[in-house]
Amino acid sequence: MQSSVLAAQPKIAPMKQSAAPAKAKIFFPNLDGLRFVSFFVVFLYHSLLSILSYLKDASPQVYKVVEFLFRNGNLGVNFFFVLSGFLITYLLIKEKEFTGRIHVPNFYVRRILRIWPLYYMCVVVGFIGFGLLKKMSGEPIMENANPWYYIFFGANFDIMHTWPEKPDALLLSVLWSVAVEEQFYLTWPLILSLVPLKKFRYVFPTIMALSLIFRSFYTGGDDHDFAVRYFHTFSVIGDMALGGLFAYLVSYENKFKTFITNMHRSLIVMIYVLTLVFTLFKDQIFVPGIPVIFERIVIAALFGLIILEQNYARNSFYKMGKLKLISSLGIFTYGLYCLHFLGLYFAIKLMNIMHLNGSLNAVAFSMIVVALLLSVGISLMSYHFYEKWFLKLKDKFAFIVKK
């Protein structure tokens, strides 16, 4: 059954003239569901490294299957980068169209109110709270993360320098991507505010090309080159630039947007099949050398096409917005992403307190469910009792709000 394009495309309500200027309203009904799916594959990846690691020796065949399925779940972070590039760029373009310019200070305030409260709470919990928990349980504290990097949103560089060692407080290990996003937010509105709208089409390919050139200097199979390719801002910024390019191409009527809107179902199937193939067999396809240079940009292009298909294509098989539970949880994905290691940590502690054998399949998979429920619960509490107080202020500095 074909989905109505009106239900798929972003809904935009124009600004009205009044004593207090009305705010334009834009809503992409299928993005929240995509956000949750991206978080969930990251959650499964981290479950593989923690809870499911108990199965490695006890149930090697089961472990091989879950390892094959979940080993590249960290690509959910790549999806977040593409999605951020797409959404932020689209909103900035519309702000420029509606108001005549991009209000950079307002943008910074909105991002601060959305990102900083939870981020810095995680920094405090990671460096102080986690140490207290380990001290109470008699575990040694072996933190190798440098707090100054985290305070000033440089966590990706800290992890890049210590790799393959990770922070002792695993809660800190996911903050590198938030740091990259903040670096993106710092520069992106400045660039787009200085460049005429018609010239945007040159900005995004230029950044993507420069990112590929940077990656071409780090094509080895050793830990150092991998860390630079995976964590360095210049290496991953191409994901966001590609998301920005797609946002620009669908922000006005043109042949590309018409092509996406009328995309045939056979092409939609091909996009999802290729995405599955490239994510499952990433390491075999993008081997060290020339292929690994293009790893992120190819996968980002597929992720970007999924975003466009979900929000613009008439012939989609199914729209994520129809999955009400998934979409409603998608609203809390920032908290879920930042805090899910607490869910995993407490699930493992619960398993040990109850003297459950983690090497049993039933126990291991049950603990994943428990960890997910704990993660959702912690994130909901964080959102409603903490983050929401800051989010109430966010729209005061916006010219475009969620409908």
Taking a C-beta distance cutoff of 8 angstroms, is the pair 225, 276 a contact? no
Q: Could you tell me the two tokens for 374?
A: 């704990």
Beta strands 24-27 and 11-13 are antiparallel
Q: Which of 281, 292, 219, 304 is nearest to 72 (CA)?
A: 281
| CA 337 from centroid of its chain's CA atoms | 8
Q: Could you tell me the two tokens for 389?
A: 């107080």
| CA 380 from centroid of its chain's CA atoms | 18
Taking a C-beta distance cutoff of 8 angstroms, is the pair 30, 311 a contact? yes
Domain boundaries, the chain: 5-401
What is the residue-level pLDDT of the chain in tens, covering all 403 positions? Answer: 433 333 345 655 544 444 445 677 788 989 999 999 999 999 999 999 999 999 999 999 999 999 999 999 999 999 999 999 999 999 999 999 989 999 999 999 999 999 999 999 999 999 999 888 888 877 888 889 999 999 999 999 999 999 999 999 989 999 999 999 999 999 999 999 999 998 999 999 999 999 999 999 999 999 999 999 999 999 999 999 999 999 999 999 999 999 999 999 999 999 999 999 999 999 999 999 999 999 999 999 999 999 999 999 999 999 999 999 999 999 999 999 999 999 999 999 999 999 999 999 999 999 999 999 999 999 999 999 999 999 999 988 988 877 6
Taking a C-beta distance cutoff of 8 angstroms, is the pair 177, 119 a contact? no
H or E, element range at 11? strand 11-13
Within 216-332, residue ranges assigned H as helices are 223-231, 233-249, 255-261, 265-280, 282-285, 290-293, 295-312, 324-330
Q: By three-state DSSP, how is residue 195 classified?
A: coil
Write the burial class of residue 68 (CB in 10 Å: 0-12 exposed, 13-18 middle, 19+ buried): exposed
- Sign of the alpha-carbon dihedral angle for 218, 220, 221, 223: negative
